[in-house]
Amino acid sequence: MGRIAEALRKAQTEKAGRSTLGIGPAWAQAGLAAEAGEPGLDAHRPGRRSMGFKSERSAPVIDPPDQASDVHMPPPFWDVHPTIMTVRERSSPITEQYRAARTWLLRRSAPSGKNCVAVTSSVAREGKSVTTANLAAIMAEVRHMKVLAIDCDIRQGSLARLFRISNEPGISEVMAGRATLASAIQTTPLGNLFVLPAGECHDINSTELLNSTAASTMFAQIRDRFDYVLVDTPPVQCLSDVGVIGALCTGLILVVRMNKTPAHLVRQSAHWLQANNLNILGCIAADCSARGARYEYDVNGGD
């Protein structure tokens, strides 16, 4: 008990110090406040709107964030895929679990406040896209924090399907030069959430394009303009894109589907990512449906 109390006291001291010295992004404070039940959603419909980009090739100029409204607006109806629980059922236990994940991520966000986190998994159908979409939606709850969800799984992109938005133009068209970034980024009814779908241009070599300077410039622009960027990537075991994308991002989240994905593939993927000097922030255990999966057995007395 003494050590726990000491740790809490230390955390409070650090938090007070950050607020006093201006360490950490301002939205982090607001985000933590939002966790307390302050929604920061804008009543917008999904679709395209001007994001303030100066030109097609230049980085988009993002409008200054809306002033915080003191009026609590009801969440808009957005007919997303049923798996996007953070939008459809905002008070469900699963949404709370994503909120807890958001808290974890925000507490470990970069001091600069520009975070670009890739979400990946070892094999397909582990829940990367669902996790990315849910995390993006739950991040967008934080007032004044603009969140962009990018679907970098060009071959089998599914973010557009999950958010039920148009998949074209997407990042593939942008990288192929067939569309501008500003025109590709789509708004959502959640004012802080923007989506860059994968696009329909499947004939390009995504790995080479992602390795290009233009991609680095594009990601730099995106990081500059958005407070939190979540990138949906292909599985590690299928494509090497995740290595390139991970290098463009500040960190990686490894999604592990419980009772499904073979453990050796997960271990192999984690080792591969670490061998490529990629920063794995942590892992998210998905599909914890089995009883006892969330709570491990402790032989030392705890259940």
Binding site for other proteins (CB under 8 A): 81-83, 85, 93-94, 97-98, 100-101, 104-105, 127, 130-131, 253-254, 256-264, 266-267, 270, 280-297, 299
Place of tokens 């999966």: 293
**Least distance to other proteins from the beta carbon of 236, Å?**
13
DSSP 8-state secondary structure symbol assigned to residue 289:
-
Pick the closer one to other proteins by CB: 203 or 298: 298
The contacts of residue 271 (CB under 8 Å, 6+ apart) are none
Closer residue to other proteins, CB minimum distance, 203 or 296: 296
Nearer to other proteins, 1 or 299 (CB): 299
Alpha carbon of 53 to those of 191, 210, 215: distances in Å?
17, 21, 17
In terms of C-beta density within 10 A (0-12 exposed, 13-18 middle, 19 or more buried), how is residue 72 classed? exposed
Task: Give least dist CB 250 to other proteins, A.
Answer: 15
> Of the two residues 63 and 89, which places its CB atom closer to other proteins in the complex?
89
The minimum distance between CB 247 and other proteins, in angstroms, equals: 19
**Rounded distance, CA 191 to CA 257, Å?**
30
Q: Which of residues 137 and 253 has its CB atom nearest to other proteins in the complex? A: 253
Q: For the chain, state the CA radius of gyration.
A: 19
Q: Which is nearer to other proteins, 98 or 228 (CB)?
A: 98
- Tell me whether residue 17 or residue 104 sits nearer to other proteins (CB atom): 104
Distance CA 140, CA 160 (A): 17
Residue 219 Cβ vs other proteins, minimum distance, rounded to whole Å: 22
Distance CA 289, CA 212 (A): 41
The nearest distance, CB 156 to other proteins, in angstroms, is 19
Pairing label, strands 251-257, 193-196: unpaired
Q: Please, what's the b/e burial string for 222-247 (b: 16 or more CB within 10 A of its CB; e: otherwise)?
A: bbebbbbbbbbbbbbbebebbbbbbb
Minimum separation from the CB atom of position 266 to other proteins (A): 7
Q: Please, what is the minimum distance in Å from the beta carbon of residue 99 to other proteins? A: 9
